[in-house]
Amino acid sequence: RKEVEQDPGPFNVPEGATVAFNCTYSNSASQSFFWYRQDCRKEPKLLMSVYSSGNEDGRFTAQLNRASQYISLLIRDSKLSDSATYLCVVNGIGGSTLGRLYFGRGTQLTVWP
Amino acid sequence: DGGITQSPKYLFRKEGQNVTLSCEQNLNHDAMYWYRQDPGQGLRLIYYSQIVNDFQKGDIAEGYSVSREKKESFPLTVTSAQKNPTAFYLCASSFSPGANQPQHFGDGTRLSIL
């Protein structure tokens, strides 16, 4: 089983729509969670960290459900500039995985006018 | 400006040739990482280093080598033993790995076979 699994996508939504991405992780002891954004042929960039209580940054809301080992990202009022691939990322928790981050394969979002 | 610098942006390798990708950071980060990304695929970890003069193999280390002689620098050599080197190579760094900090990426090197 992969450490991080994401919705395969692609998601194609009109401007102004609300879209949600989901992600599950395999190690219940993981402590740190992130969403990254990757534009075509560019490097991944940190979008936001995900905290236990859930957190919001403008139009973006991240939620963590530890019991279900599930992370989500909600984007409200989608903009054309939100078109990208969104990567779910989870930390390794010890031993040989300490210091490692595990990246999902990403969910592609296209926002159309 | 603080950041991670990868060079070159594009690199071509001939058969039987070793090539070295450069990664330098001035963020004072302890940990550095090398990933490979193939089209439509996720990031795969090649090597990582949590401290100077120490590094560990990732999931796909065969055909690659690294060194970490300075905190700021973590070069990756793609050896002739790597038979399918064409990919997008990304270097990343983070603060102390035990703190599970996010990683910050350079803008990558695209390697192709001539």
Residues A64-84 pLDDT 10s = 999 999 999 999 999 999 999
| Overall average pLDDT of the A35-41 stretch | 95
Q: What is the pLDDT of residue B112?
A: 93
A104 vs B31, B42, B48: nearest CB: B42
Contacts with B59 (C-beta within 8 Å, 6 or more apart), sequence order: B44, B45, B46
The tokens for A21 are 């991405």
Distance CA A99, CA B57 (A): 13
Q: What is the pLDDT of residue A96?
A: 61
Distance CA A51, CA B6 (A): 31
Residues of B in contact with A105 (CB under 8 A): 41-42
CA distance B58 to chain A (A): 9
**Closest B-chain CA to A49:** B102
Q: What is the pLDDT of residue A9?
A: 86
Q: What is the pLDDT of residue B55?
A: 94
Which residue ranges of chain B lie beneath pLDDT 50?
none
Mean pLDDT in chain A?
Answer: 91
CA distance A91 to chain B (A): 6
Residues of A in contact with B89 (CB under 8 A): none
**Backbone φ/ψ region at B40: left (φ over 0), alpha (ψ -120 to 50), beta:** left
Q: How confident is the model at residue A99 (pLDDT cuts 50, 70, 90)?
A: confident
B103 vs A96, A101, A105: nearest CB: A101
Distance CA A98, CA A113 (A): 43
Residue B21 neighbours by CB distance under 10 Å: 23
| Overall average pLDDT of the A39-60 stretch | 92
A43 vs B45, B48, B106: nearest CB: B106
Please choose, from the candidates B36, B32, B90, B28, the residue with its C-alpha nearest in 3D space to the C-alpha of residue B61: B36
Q: How confident is the model at residue A92 (pLDDT cuts 50, 70, 90)?
A: confident
